[in-house]
Structure 1
Amino acid sequence: MPAQPAFRRILLKLSGEALMGKMDFGIAPDVMGFLAQELKAVVGLGVQVALVVGGGNIFRGEGLARAGMDRVTGDHMGMLATVINALAIQDAVERVGLEARVQSAIRINEVCEDYIRRRAVRHLEKGRVVIFAAGTGNPFFTTDSAAALRAVEMNVDLILKATKVDGIYTADPKKDPTATRYAELTYDQALDQRLGVMDQTAMVLCRDHKMNLRVYDMDRPGALMSIVTGDLSIGTRVHV
């Protein structure tokens, strides 16, 4: 008997850096292919999937702002980088037979749709993967905040934050061998301990709207499928 999904609609938050794989810059084709296959398996169960992607593999506005660039200009450049990544993800998932739509929070009609909430919901209902680009469309807000906002607007059942480690730890496990993984946390605990799960704006929005969040290792084959079919052992759950 095929596995049954535990969630009707999910939103996956990907950093731009996650798309680099082992490269120092840009988009790794093997990462895109792996991601597309993971998404195909989940969509095949009937789960509706949205994504929010960052742009740090191409450009980080905040970093250049620290070096002297105007912050608003830098953030707008970062938004355009997320559109590049979103188009790459759209191409990858379409190559494995899925339908996908990119919706941008800034107007760039020649290459993708404008973000329109009701249209995005309709795409999801039709089984299309919806990729939200350009963050919130406003400077000074991260793509974490965009993920939280879109998750609330789309009324998703679960936000998944894909990282390079298998959950949230007491310290950076790559630097501290004594760090231990949390099985679950409340949003207030994560905020009080400044664990860096997401930025504080995103965390508060998730908390106030009682969103379920799970942080997991995106490089683990089958992890996404296991989570959406109810495996509670993977990653770290964050809740109210």
Structure 2
Amino acid sequence: MEGLPAHSAAGGRTARRRAAEPRSGHVSNRRIVCWRHGQTLWNVEHRFQGHSDIVLDEVGIAQANRAAALLAALRPSMIVSSDLRRAHDTASALGRLTGLDPYTDKDLRERGGGEWEGLTREEIAARWPQEFAAWDAPGGEHVVDVADRVATAVRRWAGELAPGGLLVVASHGAALRLGIARLLGLPEELWSALGGLGNCSWSVLEEGRKGWRLLEHNAGTLPEPVHSDDIPEAAEDRP
């Protein structure tokens, strides 16, 4: 189960490069890969991890290495991860293959679980039946706060990319799902329509004239070139 100041990463390197803003009306084609960390023992035991700093298990390490080999083929421009070890170690597997040192950002942490952290679903349901039904942990973070926190951090890092650049964000299941929903501009009542991410799976977003759009979700293979049936963005702008 599942913070960054304006120009620096908490506990990590400082982003010094600021890409020039694209011209008005120009599509930058910047992309973001939102990559969930590999498996941990608490994932297997269905324990709420939240901000608890749980490491990858052997399966999770293998997952990270296997996924990194695929994502390296996309030639990322920048890698940033949550400061929690399960996400940072996942990002480091990609960093070793690409020569990029991952930045860290505490604003990419998982949703804080309050009193639920370390407990199984069964334990939570038995002790807090009403809160469990609403998935609202006592002392934990509200989903809107998590969505805003993660989306703001991702936008900030994406702003460092040159046009055509690719950012890989290694983070956590709930944090990424909520952040993606906010980046897509989905109303809160539709957030649950966006399914979760499996361990070491990823979603791909691309920036267009009208904001971010979802190209792939919960993928475990490289994006394949397809003949899209989307309406061209220029046509979408017509009245």
* TM-score bracket for the superposition, by shorter chain length: 0.3 to 0.5
Which protein has the larger Cα radius of gyration, Structure 1 or Structure 2? 2
TM-score (norm 1): 0.39
